[in-house]
Amino acid sequence: MSWDHAEIRDLIARALAEDVGAGDATTNACVPAEQQASGFFLSRQAMTVAGTPLLPLIYDQEELEILCEDGSVIDDETVFARVRGSARRLLTLERTALNFLQRASGIATNAARYVQAVEGTSAKILDTRKTIPGLRRLEKLAVAVGGATNHRFGLWDAVLIKNNHIDAAGGVAQALERCRDSGLPVEIEVRNVDELDEALAAGADHVMLDNFSPEQVADAVRRIDGRARVEVSGGITLETIRAYAEAGPDFISVGALTHSAPAADISFRIESA
């Protein structure tokens, strides 16, 4: 997982093409072509910085200074990056750079809150595939900056047997048996204690407890008694996650890390060179 990945570069190119099109009409009318300027990125809230490795990919003709690296926790009104070059280019690239930084830093800040909420427990916070189509690599990178752990990237790198797979396969045992030779890590989601017992009897070593209450999770952890890794999932919020973590699971997967992360409040200010 790298910010300097072909998918990320393509994403930036498409974002710029979408925004700039045939040219920045306002900037080209207002600003002389030869004018130079400097600018800076300013936090407008306390946040975890993420996405700064994208700036050299966006500002590939400018002088760039990163003052706060990814993972830095900064207060509001903190300047965390500076850029100098053509005034026209600084203005034209502003919104694309802000869109990426606000999305990445928003996710990292959100993830860091969830990680902090379970501090002192054994539970690790996992992300999910609930990402904006086309932005998964960026969003999972931002999750990791915030201190949470990436779950599977897609459908190809791990087996996760969910409710519909169980129903389509004819049951828990049948689904597990058919996945044994996949050569991939295998996890199975269970909806109740009966399915949990079936999964354990069939040799499952990683179970996901779907929509269990914290009390039900604690009972299930005792029932499993170390025979399998335990993950919990399903509507877990920042307000409820501590209770789930204290119930003793190994992992808590949270779709809200990405699908409900608010954009970080960041401004770009331009100055005359």
- Annotated catalytic residue 124: no
For residues 22 and 60, membership in a common domain is answered with: yes
Catalytic residue of the set 124, 162, 178, 229: 162
Domain-embedded: residue 118 = no
pTM recorded for the entire structure: 0.96
Catalytic residue of the set 94, 139, 189, 195: 189
- Average pLDDT, rounded, for the chain: 97
- Annotated catalytic residue 210: yes
CATH of the domain at 83: 3.90.1170.20
Containing structural domain, residue 215? 149-253
CA 40, distance to chain mean position in Å, is 25
Burial 136-174 (b: 16+ CB within 10 A, else e): bbbbbbbbbbbbbeebbeeeeeebbbbeebbeebeebbe
pLDDT digits (tens, 9 = 90+) for 24-48: 999 999 999 999 999 999 999 999 9
For residues 65 and 86, membership in a common domain is answered with: yes
Catalytic residue of the set 19, 124, 136, 210: 210
For residues 238 and 266, membership in a common domain is answered with: no
Q: Does residue 272 carry a pLDDT above 90?
A: no
- Annotated catalytic residue 162: yes
pLDDT digits (tens, 9 = 90+) for 118-151: 999 999 999 999 999 999 999 999 999 999 999 9
For residues 267 and 218, membership in a common domain is answered with: no
Catalytic residue of the set 95, 129, 136, 178: 95
For residues 158 and 69, membership in a common domain is answered with: no
For residues 10 and 107, membership in a common domain is answered with: yes
For residues 47 and 87, membership in a common domain is answered with: yes
Tally the domains of the chain: 2
**At 82, is the pLDDT very low, low, confident or very high (cuts 50, 70, 90)?**
very high
- Annotated catalytic residue 14: no
- Annotated catalytic residue 140: no
For residues 165 and 98, membership in a common domain is answered with: no
pLDDT digits (tens, 9 = 90+) for 153-211: 999 999 999 999 999 999 999 999 999 999 999 999 999 999 999 999 999 999 999 99
